[in-house]
Amino acid sequence: MNKNSLPRKVESIIAILKSHYKPFEFSSRDPFKVLITTILSQRTRDENTALASKRFFEVVRSPEDVLKLDPKIIEETIKPSGFYKVKAKRIIEISKQLVNNYGSKVPFKKEELLKFKGVGRKTANAVSAFAFNKPAIVVDTHVHRISNRLGLINSKNPEQTEYELSKIVPKKYWILINKLFVIHGQKICRPINPKCSECKITNFCDKKI
């Protein structure tokens, strides 16, 4: 496809998905909640993230609360998210940094967020987009997979996906494209056995089966 027509293809895909799906909203725009929930979401399924996040925020309200708790309790609360020992360690380290260097507030600058151990581009972009409502493309597994299947890009990793998408997705859709592709990825364009016969954007897809 001609590169110049890709932004138009993106617009059409977004318009169709928008008419079929209600984009999700985080239950809270609290930057600390968005940050922790995104860390919990690493390498697990969406339903495990939701459960671990719910359990965690039943006992924690702030980074100070994290530091008061026995690490074993943190591990136990986030267990449903998998890799809970590593994630608990990260959450404790991040909370320490927030308390000691940032007055317990999550910084809104992406460059600052990226200085935290365990915070990569996906997490930094999620905080920018979902907590601070700043344009950012959150590339999770759904966005990476679907963008490539559709033939919008041809990328090997999420970093490359973010860069390539930033060239063809109008900025006003940077936050929305994640929300729509996440729902589409959960319902229709699943990692294995995508339901192409039920897909509303099949006409725009290079990989339709």
Helix (H) or strand (E) holding 8: helix 6-20
Smaller CB separation from ligand SF4, 1 or 114: 1
Query: Cβ atoms within 10 A of the Cβ of 24, count?
Result: 14
188 binds ligand SF4 (CB under 6 A): yes
Residue in the block written with tokens 């530091």? 67
Smaller CB separation from ligand SF4, 97 or 148: 148
Number of residues this chain uses to bind ligand SF4 (CB under 6 A): 14
Smaller CB separation from ligand SF4, 117 or 192: 192
Q: Kindly compute the dihedral angle of the four CA atoms of residues 40, 43, 133, 160, in this order, to the nearest 10 degrees.
A: 150
Question: In this structure, which amino acid lies at residue 95?
Answer: S
Tell which one of 52, 66, 78, 150 touches ligand SF4 (CB under 6 A): 150
110 binds ligand SF4 (CB under 6 A): no
Helix (H) or strand (E) holding 122: helix 121-126
Q: Which residues bind ligand SF4 (CB under 6 A)?
A: 146, 149-150, 188-189, 194-196, 199, 201-202, 205, 207-208
